[in-house]
Structure 1
Amino acid sequence: MKRLFKNNTFVLYAILPLIACFLFSCKKFLDKKPNSKLVVPATLVDAQALLDDATIMNQQRTSSFGEASSDEYFLKQSDYNALSSVSAIDLNEYIWSFYPVDGINNDWAYGYQPVYNANLALDLLKDIAKTSSNSDAWNNVKGSALFFRSYNFLWLLWDYAKAYDSTTADKDLGIALRLTSDFNIPSVRASNRQCYEQVIADAKAAIPLLPDYPQHVFRPSKGAAYGLLARCYLSMRDYKDALLYADSCLQLNNQLMDYNSNEDLNGSISASYPFTQFNKETVFYTEMNLCYSDLYHTAIHARMDTILYQSYEENDLRKLAYYSKSSDGYYSFKGSYGGSVYFFSGIATDEMYLTRAECFVRIGQKEKATDDVTALMSKRYAAGTYTLAAGITPGALLDTILDARKKELVMRGMRWMDIKRLNKESRNIILQRVENGQTYTLQPNADYYALPLPQSLIDITKMPQN
């Protein structure tokens, strides 16, 4: 013990000069002007840079909690059992057991990081005059910031609030509407109605400020804002307005990839990742975060739901484009529009076709709905093989469209929202998982459809838990 103490004393004396040099260096460093990376944002260029930071605003960013809770995948019993010894949080989320996540790197926090950047950009604009020479840049910053805030609020609402219901929206709890970068403003949960009104107001205010087409699909555009509003109104079951904005989006870009054509694909439909990133269907690009990738990510544990896989007809090319057979005989997902293991969650034209078709049939315009379904499915089935049944009824056509939506938008984070809104219309979608001989069930409109907020957030803000 004495020898150890002496050695430690020697080390202490040896490093004291280094500490002194460090402190002196710190003094000199603090006297210097910071480099450009440390400058406090103050200009239009700085504000645009905040919004162009794709690692915060686009990549591995949107909520994955709902995807992890959805019915598009399952865990094999061996993986489920292995997970039980590693992550109680993931395990409980998989079986819909109320178990709030803890820590700071969670789904909720990931969603609010782009909101903070958007608010900071908007706060900067308050001190930057709009002039004839900077108006385009100024408009783009403001429009983009409003879009990003709206876009991420909506994702958070889909996961952490109940499905929108106009009869209860004033009392149903929504999310925290952070509208400033000031950390001193306390976070409180607004009502669901207030939250959806904010999403709509921000998106609509962004439209006249944004360009028709973006320089890059990481950036917002008018088309992206139209697509965002179509999503929002669809989740509210406001089909008239969802139709309006889906159509507006498609007026700017109605391109579809033809899965029959290798020119539209990344080599071929059998490629490891058949779709190129930023393909022509992409209106706005984001990816789901990896907070719950141990659950939903098929590159790790998840396997695609067997009923879903078997529901594709043999001449449906999505069966080849979206799935690859694993060594265990089950199927993994490979069909992300991210062109990689990262799951695309952005706005694309195929989604807008399906939204417009659903809205058309719901408001009684069956022929137009048929045209949209046929336009999309003819690019998804082997050439010349897709047909709708002659004389199909509006009800059967709606079922066909909803089925097509489930198969087309798989692993994009949309299924959780769709289940919630459709169960408000008595679709009676019941989720089940079976592990170790025990069946776990999530009933329609169950409280768990508003997912639990992080416990650390509740402890700090005192906001009510779901």
Structure 2
Amino acid sequence: MKTIFKYLAITCLGIGMVSCSEEAILDLSPINNISIDDAFSSPTLIESSINGMYNAAAIGQYNSTNPNGGRGYVWGAAFVEQGDTRGEDVVNTATFYQLTYTATYDATTANNVYYWIDGYRLINRANLVIEGVTKAVENGIISSEIGNNYIGQAKFLRAITHFELSTFFARPYNFSSGATHPGIPYREVGIDTQAEIDSELLKGRNTVAEVYAKVLADLDSAESLITNTQLTKASKNAAIAFKTRVYLHMRNWNKVIEEGNKLAGAYTLTAEPDGVFDDNYGNTESIFSILHAATNNPGVNAALASQYNRRRLVSVSPIIWRDPSWLVDDKRRSETYEAGVPTGMVFTFSGRVYTAKYRDGVNYTDAAPVIRYAEVLLNMAEAHARKSTPDLLMSLELLNKVRNRALASPLTQAYTVASFTTPAAMVGAIIKERRIEFLMEGRRWSDIHRLQNDDLQPIDGIPQKVANGNPPASAFVLGTPYTGPYGVDAIPGTDPRFLWPIPQVELDANPTLAGQQNPGW
């Protein structure tokens, strides 16, 4: 069998498999001159392949010919920027994310097209790692313990990337009975031969139920296999934490609690809310973050500190900034500077408010925060309030754990048992806390997505937003809730724009998916 090079195979799968004949692939030079077989022929080369997989997660390729020339799709930056700008709690102040923010995208728009393409490029890298490492173990090149650790990490990245794509390209789990509606293709084959290209070319959409089942199977496997404990690579605890997110979307409240309880004692919240960002590689709260370095990051057009801080392309929205639930002396409003550089949680420019969570605007070394313990606690808090026999006392305890560290006076400002006496009220408070706590971390879209047709705190479609552009300073004055003007109309949940369309380049390449486009596109 001819060898087809890893990077080129990934490109074929991500961009359109039909155009990549075996002869065309073999006529091209590989990026690193290492074939699939060679890439897993020694412990050192295997480790390099693992690092390449994480590089694909952190940087991606976007529309570049350089495999490391991307814009942080999916996990290096784009999940934050796209997850934020699809919601109402930020304002897109320029044109960079305008199509996402105003929902004027189509099947050729770069932001959503490369979410899909770079997502599946990463998935294919993970699949190639799983297959290559499996053979390396069989051939005695590495031990089964080392191999299992690598395989578990690849399964973790495969799982979370499929899950992430499903929240943008498929309806939420509770959209149909049994989640039998269309999801996305769940790819488990590493593409390195023409036969595999031809086979995968015919693969259509799995149901959402099938996607979630496979995500959980991969995460369960990752939990059992991974021995790594580094923050910036997949770990057993990261798999557990991510399962609380998946089960929350599935509305399996008991499983959210069961998985979350496994992490008791493994992590603690930082004493102050900015502790996660003061030391984003060494704090006690972060569970899985993506590594960035001065020589290896998404660059000026994607790095979080570039887009959110130095270039100020996205601001906090007055909608959440002026929400009465966010107390005026909450520490997450702290604004401090050292030599003119923001060191608190936010900073102001021309009266507008911006996040200061990402601070290295020179070398772009800030970690991308994929999941941290505060989310696990709030996932559990919500599950306790929603389960068949609600436990509002436990919900309150977990909610206060997260919120109280941000309060100026917890003794007088903390929520009490009298604050929320029904599950609906408690869940409403938890959802609001999530909007504040994870502001500018890409979490808002995930909640909008899963709360469609919710029984306690329903959201219909995408909420209305402040107009694209620079809001006036007066819009950020505290004291009353923000009531307008807006500028970007709400989009009903039935509107095709609620979902991103499958990219046209994929439809052109895949005859099966060509007949499975999201309705209305």
Q: TM-score, normalised by structure 1?
A: 0.78
**Which of residues 354, 365, 373 in structure 2 aligns to 1:349?**
373
1:24 maps to which residue?
none
Larger mean Cα displacement after TM superposition, 195-204 or 283-292: 283-292
SS in 1 for 2:406: coil
For the residue of structure 2 that corresponds to 1:326, the secondary structure is strand
Deviation at 1:172, TM superposition (A): 1.9
> 2: CA distance between counterparts of 1:176 and 1:39?
29
Moved more, 135-144 or 66-75: 66-75
Maintained 8 Å contact 1:284/1:348: yes
Alignment deviations for residues 218-243 of structure 1 (CA, whole Å, 9 cap, x no partner): 21111111011111111122211112
Q: Give 1:282's match in structure 2, choosing from 261, 281, 286.
A: 286
Equivalent pairs counted in the alignment come to 413
| CA–CA separation in structure 1 for the residues paired with 2:371 and 2:281 | 13
Of 141, 144, 152, the match for 2:153: 144
Secondary structure of the structure 2 residue equivalent to 1:332: strand
Cα 1:244/1:390, change in 2 over 3 Å = closer
Q: Please give the alpha-carbon distance, in whole angstroms, between the structure 1 residues aligned to 2:371 and 2:216.
A: 16
Deviations 1:257-310 (A, max 9, x none): 1118xxx848xxxxxx64534422111113897679899846432221112112
Written as runs of structure 1 = structure 2, the 5 A alignment for 1:268-417 is: 274-286=278-290, 297=308, 299-311=311-323, 312-320=326-334, 323-336=345-358, 344-363=368-387, 364-382=390-408, 384-385=410-411, 386-391=413-418, 392-395=420-423, 396-417=425-446
Are the counterparts in 2 of residues 69 and 94 from structure 1 also a CA contact under 8 Å?
yes
Q: What is the SS of the residue equivalent to 1:176?
A: coil
In 2, Cα distance between the equivalents of 1:337 and 1:356? 30
CA distance in 2, matches of 1:196, 1:220: 19
1:251 partner SS: coil
- The residue aligned with 2:118 is 110
- Indicate which of 186, 189, 198 corresponds to 1:180: 189
CA distance in 1: counterparts of 2:254 and 2:188, whole angstroms: 29
Change (3 A) 1:412 1:294: closer
Residues 381, 394 of structure 2: 8 Å contact kept: yes
Q: Which has the larger radius of gyration?
A: 1
Structure 1 pair 375/455, CA: closer, same or farther in 2 (3 Å)? same
Deviations 1:92-124 (A, max 9, x none): 332223412356971112222321221011111
Query: Which is worse superposed, 433-442 or 219-228?
Result: 433-442
Q: Which residue is 1:162 aligned to?
A: 171
Contact 2:106–2:500 (Cα < 8 Å) also in 1: no
Paired residue type of 1:75: N
RMSD: 3.5
Q: Equivalent residue for 2:68? A: none
Summarize the Cα distance change of 1:252–1:220 in structure 2 as closer, same or farther, 3 Å threshold: farther
Q: How does 1:415-434 map to 2 (within 5 A)?
A: 415-425=444-454, 427-429=458-460, 430-433=462-465
Deviation at 1:164, TM superposition (A): 0.9
- 1:194 is matched by which residue type in structure 2? E
What residue number does 1:57 align with? Answer: 57
Taking a change above 3 Å as real, the CA distance of residues 170 and 365 of structure 1, as seen in their structure-2 partners, is closer
User: Alpha carbons of 1:133 and 1:116: their partners in 2 closer, same or farther (altered >3 Å)?
Assistant: closer
SS in 2 for 1:217: coil
Worse overlay, 333-342 or 290-299:
290-299
State how far apart, in whole Å, the 1-side matches of 2:41 and 2:178 are.
Answer: 39
Instruction: Give the aligned partner of residue 71 of structure 1.
Output: 88
- The offset of 1:349, in angstroms, is 0.6
Secondary structure, aligned partner of 1:347: strand
Secondary structure at 1:189 match in 2? coil
Q: Residues 314, 94 of structure 1: CA spacing in aligned structure 2 closer, same or farther, 3 A cutoff?
A: closer
Amino acid at match of 2:459: N
Q: Which amino acid aligns with 1:65?
A: Q
Query: Structure 1: which 5+ residue stretches go unaligned?
Result: 1-29, 267-272
Identity of aligned residues (%): 19
Residues 280 and 366 of structure 2 are in contact (CA less than 8 Å); yes or no, is this contact kept in structure 1?
no
Q: Please name the residue that 2:272 is paired with.
A: 259
